[in-house]
Amino acid sequence: MKHKIHVHGIRCYAYHGCMEEEARIGGHYTVDVTIDTDFSKAASSDELIDTVDYCAVQQIVAEEMAIRSKLIEHVGQRIFSRIKTELSGIEGLRIEIHKHSPPIDGDTREVSILIEG
């Protein structure tokens, strides 16, 4: 059986970007995490220990988003690596980071990166 856990819409205010203004002013970000796992045991036991803890996922995202980086690609890789390393039962993982109102030429709602593996 195939199972997925979605922790979507993790809102963060962070200071990522190549421009000095981004380091000082910061901006709004949203992070979506999708985990492929087998939660059959949790579905039967009704015990948190038998599945992926959503709070742990959110905590990892918040901690990594709080560390300034020039590129959201770098932040995304750190989030991906920590979730894969620190949480058990991860069969597949998808991380998407959305940077809202990026300071680029033109009217752009957001840019995003996606890491899957």
Instruction: Tell me which of 2, 70, 84, 99 is the catalytic residue.
Output: 99
Active-site residue flag, 99: yes
State phi, psi for 110 to the nearest 5 degrees: -165, 160
Rounded distance, CA 93 to CA 74, Å? 16
Q: What b/e readout covers 57-73, taking b as 16+ CB neighbours within 10 angstroms?
A: beebbeebbeeebeebe
Active site residues: 99
